Amino acid sequence: METKDIDRGIQIANRILESLPKRSLNATTERLYRKTGERFWKAPEDILITTSKRTYYLRKAAMTFYATEQLKVAVERRDDALISHAAKVLLRFLRSEDPQDGAPPGKCPIASSKKRQSKRQSLSGLPENWRERLVQASSGELKEWILVLAVAGVRPKEIENGVDISPVDGGARLTVLGAKTNNGYGQPLRVIEVMSDLALQLAKAGARRISAPSANRVSVAIGRLGRRVFKRRAAGNVSAYSFRHQLASDLKASGLSSVDASAFLGHAVEDTKRQYGSHSQSRGSGRFKLVYASRIVKRCVMRYNSPSRGLGVKSEKSV
């Protein structure tokens, strides 16, 4: 190919690269995107071979990242064939509407996606002692993670942050560094106490900090163990968030105030507790106490407007 044609291709590639937003990925996501990009690089249309919208969008993000990296390499090498392929991949997946995908503007091309089952619904398919069975089936750091999840319903990210354990009479006190706390959301710090058989197991090893290398490590390990212990469960797989929904159900049945229960889960708005579990799904007879929460919980109350303006919800600070 003539030099002027290669130069024209490089100019186009540079314009594409300049138009792309700057992104910052953590090392884990970058490895995943690179691995996915390599898998679909020769046949990018194969990312459509899935019934999951979530999988499609993950693959799409990975292909965009990988194609951007390849386009940079192609410009450095003055590789016209690589420039052409990388540009085609980018233009295909960066457009909000893609005739090749056969999807209307702004619509996902995956038409027959499987509906994901909520963790609240999945609790109905679990045995009464499902948490105890997972504790018994685990050991080492995984058992520590499961006990913290079962006792306090923390998020996997909060285990990554580190949860401090202190024995108390009848159970354990946990100091949790919160997740999802930007822009005034969530509880940056909360101290809670749980008195139950599982809490006694957690406290048995004494005062310590329980942490994990990453939230993803916790989630993956819990998923694998759940599939091994509950092999043929129609309600779906156990996840780290199943413990959170279960704990929310136990809190609702415990008599703890709605405001304290919300703070116990790490929320700064009372209304968010309604998204987790239900009173009827409670299992166990633990006692729960909110010792400290760093933010005041906003109480949500219903506000009835005129018929023309509809029904709204407003927040009030709970003292």
Q: What is the pLDDT of residues 205-224, one digit of tens each?
A: 999 999 999 999 999 999 99
Give the C-alpha separation, 33 to 215, whole Å.
Answer: 18
Helix (H) or strand (E) holding 171: strand 171-177
> Phi and psi for 176 in degrees, rounded to 5?
-115, 125
Q: For the chain, how long is the longest CA-to-CA vector? A: 81
Nearest to 16 by CA among 90, 92, 89: 90
Per the DSSP assignment, residues forming a β-bridge with 165 are 174, 208
Give pLDDT, residue 121. Answer: 61
Give pLDDT, residue 197. Answer: 95
Q: Print pLDDT tens along the chain (319 aa).
A: 456 677 787 888 888 888 877 777 888 889 999 999 999 998 888 888 888 888 888 999 999 899 899 988 888 888 888 988 888 888 887 754 344 444 444 566 766 555 555 555 667 778 889 999 999 999 999 999 999 999 999 999 999 999 999 999 999 999 999 998 887 789 999 999 999 999 999 999 999 999 999 999 999 999 999 989 987 654 457 899 999 999 999 998 888 998 999 999 999 988 655 666 566 677 777 899 999 999 999 876 544 343 433 333 344 444 3
44-47 contacts at long range (C-beta below 8 A, 24 or more positions apart)? 44/89, 44/92, 44/93, 45/100
Query: Token pair of 91, please?
Result: 């233009």
Give pLDDT, residue 46. Answer: 86
Give the C-alpha separation, 129 to 151, whole Å.
Answer: 13
CA-CA-CA-CA dihedral for 168, 172, 177, 183, to nearest 10: -100
Give the C-alpha separation, 165 to 202, whole Å.
Answer: 8
Q: Looking up tokens 């600070």, which residue turns up? A: 317
Nearest to 92 by CA among 136, 137, 59: 59
Q: Looking up tokens 């003539």, which residue turns up? A: 2
Query: Token pair of 25, please?
Result: 């990925």
In 207-286, DSSP assigns E strands to 208-210
> 3-23 burial, b for 16+ CB within 10 Å, e for fewer?
eeeeeebbeebeebeeeeeee
Supply the pTM of this predicted model.
0.60
Give the C-alpha separation, 293 to 191, whole Å.
Answer: 7
